[in-house]
Each structure stands twice: as structure tokens, then as C-alpha cells.
Structure 1
């Protein structure tokens, strides 16, 4: 009988690694928390008088169940998912180094390749279980606490309940790509750094570095070449699908490259060396090369080397969002309905009091929105102060007149209601049209 016939199938190795993972009390606790805590969080916050308005869609948590999963997704992309991938993928190989059990595992399985496949698949399964729990639990919590109501998109347009549910589900699916990239980096750190605790922390540290980089005024090509949670474009009409698609592809490329590098490092390892602590730093070179190639490819594709935030884009995005939200306010106040075409909304924006070029992110944008009402000659106008972040998201803060955007609440026939024009979120498409 040959040695090959004695090797344990990947399926049996996978089941073994799966049992090893879920038998750990910390994994069980975290999985349970992912399926329970988000529902409690969303339900609790939705009933609060003070909402997380500094978080995307946070200001709508009192109005619709579909805002809660998006608020949680924004939080999870920065904090929860990097820590979860560190806990699972960042420790799956290093644990064997700490316990000194590689020889026993090799004797039992007889194939480093199958060991790697089993551990990677088991880690992926646990991570997917956690992500699914976060999405499902937060949605259930919102539906119970608030109900199935339409969602206001980032362009001010009211999304039907079915449309909102589909886009929320798609946003969580798109978030799997950068999560898989973090998992691949966790596998690479766990393999390359051995028993060092840095392997366990690598996905969280990498996610922190990416988050800090996204806060800088980077060129669009560099921004999109890094694996990040970029799903905001799904909530515009039309959908800003190009940027979302690029982010998904980049995330999957990072996941594949990091996992393949971890595989090569693992199968080339000398398991007879009991003092193995770390692989050479060159294990990170494939990821550096991938970033450079991606940037060059995006520049060649015409993505651009600027910030992508330009005066005409800001004016167009603000005017579109204002027109849609004005119609929502009109419905609140029981006024005759008007269409966007009848309003003819436009915006004029400057930056730094006209002393700064109207391009790039910043909190010194000032815009005047103008519109017309049917059968009147007067032109309505409203002032907004804009804070635009490097990823294109902006918060428009109303600065008068008081009849339009001067107060947080508006007085409706059924009582006071939040004024949709007082302060609202929007998004500038960073990529050029076409």
C-alpha cells in the first residue's frame, strides 16, 4: 500500500479542524454573540432619543428596520470583522506551534497540503457563520423594533421595502470580499509568524492601517487598490456600481494572493525544526506587488489620479439629494406634490470662502441650493455647510432659512417629525462617468 493511499481525505480533515475550532469556548461564545448581540443593539438604539447620526444611515434607525443592519455593517467593518478574523484565521496555524502538535498532525494526516486546505476551509466556515449571524441578527432586531418601512438612500430617494432589503443583503455580500482578504492575511500571519502573537493581531492591525489610509486624501486609484468596505454606492440611484465592483474584485484578489502565499510558505516549511518562529519578511512581497499592479491597472483604465471630489460632482450630488428630500418634506407637511423636474433644483458650492480650490475633501464647503415651485416666480434658496470625507461621503448641515432646514423637527398634521432637510448624508461618486 502506498503512502498516498494512507492520507486522510480533505473532508475528514475539515471535519476534524471544524470540531477543534467550535470546541473552543471563546469561539462558541463569539458565534453566539454574533447571533444575539446585534439584534439587541439595533433594537435598543432604535428606541433611543439620541441616534448615532455620525454613522452612515444612523439618523434613520428610528424610521426603518433597514438602517440598523447598515449601521452595524459600518461598525463591523472597522472593529468587529477584523477582530473576528484575527480570532479565527489568525490563530488556526499558530495554535499548533504553541502546543507543539505539528508532528502528531502530520503523522495523522500525512499531507501538509491537506492540512492547509482543512484548516483554511474550517476557518472560512466559522467566519462565514459569524458574518451571517451579524447580518441576520441586526435585521431581525430592526424589524422587531421599528418595522418594515422604506429607507432613504444617499441621494435622498425613498427606497421601497423590497428594494431596501435587496440592497442591504447585497451590501453584506459585498462586505464578504474585504472580510475574506482579512482572513487570508490572518492565515498568512498565522503561518509566517508562527507562535508569535503578531500573527494573531495581524488582521486587526492591517484593518486599522487601511482605515487610517482611507482617511487620507489619497488618489482614487490608490484608494480603490486597497481592500476596504466600500458598499455606499449601492444606495444611490443609479447605483454607483463601478466603484463597488472594483472593491469586491480587489478584496477577492487580496484574499487569493494572501491565501496562496500562506500556502506556499506552509508547504515549504521544515517541520523538523521545533524552534520555528517566523518566515522571512518577503512573504508580504506578493501583496505589495499586487497593490502596485492594481494601482497601475486602475490608472490605465482611466480611474484618475486625483481625489475624485470635484465642484460639479458635489453640486450635482447635493442638488439631487435635496430635491428628493424636499419631496419627502412636502409629503410630511401635506403640501401639493411636485416633481424633481418641476423643482429644477441646482446648487452652487465654494470652499474656504472662495479662497480654496473647490476640489478635495474638507469641512469648509459651503453651498447654496436653489429651486422653483410651480406657478410662482420666486426662487427658493437654502444654505448648507458640507463636511466631505475622502471616500466621498458628505454630511450636509442646514444653515437656513428656518422654514426649510433651520430646525431639527417640522410640525406636521399628525405631530412633530424629524426634518429630512435639516441635516442629511450624501455621496459623491469618485469615479468619472462612462
Structure 2
């Protein structure tokens, strides 16, 4: 299985040894095979074209996807579009792409019955695995780059290179927004690799079974469900899918980098372990038995039981390192986050209405929040948070107040919906000297830092 010898040449008593084909040649061969499949070519083309068309079309509509992070700013800046695409990609597109590519790269040989021909030609199972893994990684990364580049181009052409409002209300310049957008896309490479590693396990262990192809999608759905449940922060961060949403912390000031770095580290560990498991399973396969294209129950046990153990180990390590076994959402954090965002956005509204400029230190913004009344603890996710924001204007004795209803999800993201007074946050439009403009204080997104509190920014 690992080497063959050619027939002796005339006049020679010793036959020359046939050497395995190099990994580089195998890689080029596998890459050509992948790109020759019509569904792969179609997906690559869609990744490079569809996001630009989607972002350009949505940016010209009167209604925006305000339930999507940064969706409400797609009329204001071209950098909101690629972030909307990123949110969709982390939930649906990237798991599907890894399934189609990594989840099928070995199983295709089982369906076609070409393992014997490939082994005779290459003479090294190890080099076959390396070539197939690298080829699938190349295709997946080309799709991810296409999604990012296409979304950015579509947004910039449709709306323009304008500043972006962050998740705490502060304004990012065009260059700063561009850097953060592409950094956010780079951060999701790690969880994509983790899903690709899981796809390799399914492709090797399950062979012709469609479950091998669906394994990355199923794993992503399970991890998304876990993120929606009221699980401890340590449990959520210990799953590789957390990095798909932790990029939100890049758009706050100061940046909430802790959860993102943990999510990337966990994803890379999962990618390495899953790939190693797939490699060991592939080397132990019996390619001489044409009626059995997988290693059966033993392969499934050897492939997926270590991942369950890995999940428990990462939960234990993250739980000890943070430590955070609660929800990470409590009253002081919510109040500080809301007050910071309101102060930034109040100044933005002041500029829109051509009012006298005021510094945030002069505003002295504070928030008082309550969750579900006196009988409910003021902590955890939910849509029953009610907050009263108070601020002061120079030369005015009476303090201003505004009411907000907050819907906070388990990952710390919230939507603050203004509930009066009408002069501040009662309407979605404000009247400016240039006509009606979106009211930044009417409804806005925010983010609660789950791991620890940070000073007011």
C-alpha cells in the first residue's frame, strides 16, 4: 500500500525503487479535481459575486435588516454591508461551504471507487491525505476571501467609503472601519478551519454516507443552539463556533478582545485535533476491501469520542482560566454599556441638529436598569430589561431623562429601543437643516462585555 516496485529492466539484476509522488504534484492534482466539479466552481463564483449584489441591492432599499448586526447602518456607510454578510456567513454560508468541500474530499473517492488507482499512482497514503487536506483548505479560503471582498466592494460602490458607528456608539473613521472589518473576517478563519477538520473526519470515517457531508453543518447548528441557550460564559467560549460571533468586540471602545482571542484559540485547537483524528483514521483504513469503504463503528467511536472529550477539556480549561460560570450579564455592566453608547450617540445627534457641541464629560450620562421587576434578579439575557438614562447639559439645572427597552441575547448583544421623550428618542427620524435623517438615539445596537468589566470609554 505504501510502495511498489517496477519490473526489472533487461540486463539488470536489481529493479529501481519507485518513489512516491511529491506532495506538491499531488496537491495540484487534487486542486484541479476539486475545481473541475461544477458545484465547486458554482460556489466559488457565487462567493465572489452574490455578496456584492446583495449588499448593493439592500443598501438601495427603503427598509433595512435592522434585526441583523450593523444592518441599520447600511444606508450610512459601505462598511456595514460586509459585516452583515459576515453575520450570515458565520451562521449558514461557511458551515455549508466546509461541508461541500472538506466533507466530500475523501468520500468522493469512495463513491467513484478510485482508491486503488490513486494509491498505485501516488504510493503514499500520507501524501494523499496532505494533498487532499491542502486542496480543500485552498478552496475554502478562496471562498471566504471572496465573501469578504465581494461584500466590501458592493457596499463601497453602493453607499461609499464613510465612517461606521461602532457597537458602543463611537464613530470609526473610514480607514479604521476598513481595518476592523477585514480583521473581523480574518478572525473567522479559525472556526472555519475547525469545521473543515470536522468535515475531514466525516469524509474519512463515513465514506459514502451522506452524514459525512452534513457533519460540519450539523456541528455548526448544535453550536449555534448552544449559543442561544442560557449556558455559562465558559461553556459558550469553549465551543469553536463562538469565534463566529465574538468579532463583535472589535467594534467597541476599548475593544473586547478577550472573548475573541479565547474563541480563536479554542477553534485552532479543535482544527488541529480534528485534522489529526482524520489523518489517523485515514492511515488505518483497509483499502483492499472494496465492500467496506469506512472503518465502521470503530472509526466513528475513534473519530467522535475524542471530540467529546476535547469539548469537556476546553470547557474545564476556559472555566478555570476566566473564570466565568455565570451568564456574564449583570446590572452594572448593562448600565455602563448603555450609558457609554448613549453618550456617544447623543453627541452624534447634537451634530445632526446643529446644536452647540458638548463634551461627554459634561453630559455625565448614567443609566439605571431593571430586569423584569422587583421579583427578578437583575442579570442574564432577556427582553424585559428597562432602563432610564440620565444626562446633564451645561448651564441647565434640570437633568434630561430617556427611557429604553432592552432586548439582550445570551452572547451580550442587545438592541435598545427608545420609549420617549419624543424630542430625544421618540421618532426614528430627526429634522435637520439638510432634511430628515435617521435618529441615532431611536434604536441602536450595543454589546455587554461578558468576561469582565472595563472602564467607561
TM-score range, shorter chain: over 0.9
Q: 1:154 is paired with a residue of what secondary structure? A: coil
Give yes or no for contact 1:303–1:432 (8 Å, CA) kept in 2: no
Give yes or no for contact 2:333–2:453 (8 Å, CA) kept in 1: no
The within-5 A match list for 1:280-429 is: 280-429=300-449
User: Which of 279, 283, 290 does residue 263 from structure 1 map onto?
Assistant: 279
Give yes or no for the alignment of 1:276 onto 2:296.
no
Root mean square deviation, CA, Å: 1.2
Give yes or no for contact 2:235–2:319 (8 Å, CA) kept in 1: no
Match of 1:32 in 2: 45
Q: Distance in 2 between matches of 1:331 and 1:287?
A: 53
The within-5 A match list for 1:5-404 is: 6-228=19-241, 229=244, 230-274=246-290, 275-277=292-294, 278=296, 279-404=299-424
1:103 CA drift (Å): 0.5
Q: Distance in 2 between matches of 1:170 and 1:17?
A: 30
Q: Distance in 1 between matches of 2:224 and 2:95?
A: 11
1:355 CA drift (Å): 2.3
Q: Distance in 1 between matches of 2:226 and 2:84?
A: 21
1:353 CA drift (Å): 2.2
Give yes or no for contact 2:232–2:326 (8 Å, CA) kept in 1: yes
Q: Distance in 1 between matches of 2:301 and 2:110?
A: 19
1:113 CA drift (Å): 0.5
Q: Distance in 2 between matches of 1:126 and 1:69?
A: 20
Give yes or no for contact 2:234–2:322 (8 Å, CA) kept in 1: no
Q: 2:390 is paired with a residue of what secondary structure? A: strand
1:301 CA drift (Å): 1.5
Give yes or no for contact 1:94–1:194 (8 Å, CA) kept in 2: yes
Q: Distance in 2 between matches of 1:250 and 1:65?
A: 32
Map Cα deviations across residues 311-362 of structure 1 (whole Å, 9 max, x no partner): 0000000000000000000000000111111100000000112321000000
Give yes or no for contact 1:361–1:392 (8 Å, CA) kept in 2: yes
Give unmatched runs, 5+ long, in structure 1. Answer: none
1:2 CA drift (Å): 8.2
Q: Distance in 2 between matches of 1:103 and 1:413?
A: 75
1:433 CA drift (Å): 4.2
1:303 CA drift (Å): 2.7
